[in-house]
Amino acid sequence: MHPEQLADLLIPSDPRLDPDGKRIAFVVTRLDLEQDKYLRRIWLWDGTGARPLTAGPGDTSPRWSPDGTRLAFLRKGGDDDAKPQLAILDMGGGEAEVITKFSLGVLEAEWSPDGAQIAVVAAEWTDDLAGLEPEERKRRARRITRFPYRFDNLGWVADRRTHIHLVDVGTGAARQLTDGDCDESGIAWHPAGTTLAFVSARQPRRGLEPGSQIWTISVDGGEATPRTNIGLWGNASFDPEGRLHATGIADEWGHPDVAPLHRIEDDGRLTALTAHLDRNLMPLAPTISPPSPQWLEDGRAIVTVEDSGTVRLMEMAADGATSEIIGGERAITGASPNADGSRVAFVATHPTNPGEIHLLVDGEEQQLTDLNARFVGEATLTQPERFVISHDGVEVEGWVYLPPGEEKVPLLLNIHGGPASAYGLWFFDEFQVYAGAGYGVVAINPRGSHGYGSDHVRAIIGTWHEEDSPDMVDLLAAADASAAQFPRLDTTRMGVMGGSYGGYATARLISRDHRFKSAIVERGLFSFTSFLGTSDIGPWFTRMYLADVDDPQQVWESGPLATADNISTPTLVLHSEGDFRTPIEQGEQLFARLLDNGVSTEMLRFPAPEGHEMSRGGSPRHRVERFEAILEWHGRHLG
């Protein structure tokens, strides 16, 4: 695969099976390098084939009406300043009608059970800015009173609020249901249509401390009621009997850990229904939509479970008992069942296919689309091979992507972000591009990664001030173990790279081991001392991972800048100027230190609004230019 082939990918997502189980609406995304934009359209599989249903260029979030006669979705126009609004398409024919005009757009939409209303989460300016002209709004100094005041991938957030509104489908009239100095997300309807559940952080120290709560509110209005204590909640849902559930971690300081599905009793007690799996229901990667759970009419649920480099689909009984229904060496990135579960529409991806729509009918699986047939036929794609490290009483899993041929190839160790993310058996353009350029790619899920249970993901907490923290031990072992199993990997030409936590770990690795001849640190965290006050998650993320944030020496020693004077490996620093997760001052500090020490180094800065997600969701041209810079740097130093 070559960098410019990003434009050949057609990525399906968010499959939604209609109430009759006969049609599937889904989103298809592709990159347009000429326009430097993402083009998103809703497609329809109608029982005989799949075709584009909407024109785009920014159509997402398809939602069937309860009777299946209409499809609601979010439409964003082609202008750079356009905001997504709620649109409704009559499936009997005609054009989609946009029925909302929220100043900062609609973020979520869900039909009421009777089909008369749609609950939306919409963003609007705060009262002091709402009536201003755009230029005056930009000119004004920002008065900051809360944290975070900016958030990665969202931009400045202190000047806006996201609240729930009820939109009348017939008239388009919107009635605001929630208000206040807070934000809501993750809306879910009670099956009787009387109540909405949602996620919101309303505690006094929100932002400075982590967490949110599950709330409910009557559709007639009034005050919202908290239904849980503060935790790390992803989304709420109601089962067919109207019992409230939530996916997440019940302890607001509990990250990193597996996130099970909880039943919320009327008295607030929580029952962790999937705790026995010791697996995560909210993967950081890949993105899952629709999220778990998807309820069936008899009280069972369909859930996606992250497990050992895969994402599989399981059926959960009302008591939490689970059984696998869709597995394999792949990832299920979204699933939508009909009422009785006899049909399940889903997206599946594996290392050599970016994703296709499938349908499970009475246990038999059918592939319905072949969106990426041309790309797969033209690109030379690599199937990874698994290896395992057994040491320290644990097993650590990894994969090697080898390009075609028999000759020796440079070893390129890749380190994922998170750190509680994971690599796995889904299509990842980065690995295919690097293998396509002639590198032997080594990917590993060291301790600290999701997919292997609570002990594995929490093993690194409080250890980063130690030279031999568990993740460092695992990462160094990966180079040796992979080379021993795959002799084509040339250990005299080894490179290492990673983004976010991967950038952090790369910097730590090259300060203690000088075998690597080339390194790339991307959007890394290099100094907890400054990260604490500049990152959108700094105040609380640091407390989750470090042993003692009140010890300034330990805080300093936990960051790679503390040992950066030991680095001699040629190092490229990649960062984006709009990164609010690991602000660019992090990369600037490391670059200045390396330059001052005479290390061969360069810094490549991508202009704002590019942020922390640039490698995955940045401008198409920047993504291609990033790949070209990475290949040039490693080519310069590894040959």
pLDDT digits (tens, 9 = 90+) for 416-434: 999 999 999 999 999 999 9
Q: Residue 639: its pLDDT value, please? A: 85
State residue 80's pLDDT score: 80
Return d(Cα 94, Cα 96) in angstroms, integer. Answer: 7
Which one-letter DSSP state was computed for residue 600? -
Give the strand order in the sheet containing 261-264.
232-238, 244-249, 261-264, 270-272
User: Which pLDDT score, from 0 to 100, does residue 505 have?
Assistant: 98
Instruction: Write down how long the chain is.
Output: 639
CA dist., res. 338 & res. 345, Å (int) = 9
- Let me know: does 378 contact 367? Beta carbons within 8 Å: no
The rounded distance, in Å, linking the Cα atoms of 278 and 457 is: 11
Distance of alpha carbon 405 from alpha carbon 415, whole angstroms: 25
489-492: long-range contacts at Cβ-Cβ below 8 A with a sequence spacing of 24 or more? Answer: 489/400, 489/402, 489/408, 489/409, 489/411, 489/440, 489/442, 490/408, 490/409, 490/410, 490/411, 490/440, 491/411, 491/515
Residues of the chain with pLDDT under 50: none
What are 259's two structure tokens? Answer: 């996130």
* Terminal Cα-to-Cα distance of the chain (whole angstroms): 19
**Contacts (Cβ under 8 Å, ≥6 apart) of 564:** 507, 511, 526, 590, 593, 594, 597
C-alpha span between 596 and 570 (Å, rounded) = 13
The residues, any chain, with a CB within 8 Å of residue 510's CB and separated by 6 or more, are: 496, 516, 519, 567, 568, 569, 571
Q: Are strands 244-249 and 261-264 parallel, antiparallel or unpaired?
A: antiparallel
**Residue 314 tokens, joined:** 């399981």
Angstrom distance (rounded) from CA 566 to CA 47:
62
Please report the domains of the chain, with CATH numbers, ordered by start residue.
380-638 (3.40.50.1820)
pLDDT score, position 79: 86
Residue 323 has a pLDDT of: 96
Buried b (16+ CB within 10 A) or exposed e, 128-165: eeeeeeeeeeeeeeeeeeebbbbbbeeeebbbbbbbbb
Torsion on CA atoms 355, 453, 449, 543, rounded to nearest 10: 130
Encode pLDDT of 254-298 as tens digits: 999 999 999 999 999 999 999 999 999 999 999 999 999 999 999
Contact by Cβ (8 Å): 40, 54: no
In this prediction, residue 404 carries a pLDDT of 94
Tell me which residues are annotated as active site.
500, 612
- The side-by-side arrangement of strands in the sheet containing 489-499 is 385-391, 394-401, 440-444, 409-415, 489-499, 518-522, 571-576, 601-606
DSSP-derived letter for residue 309 is T
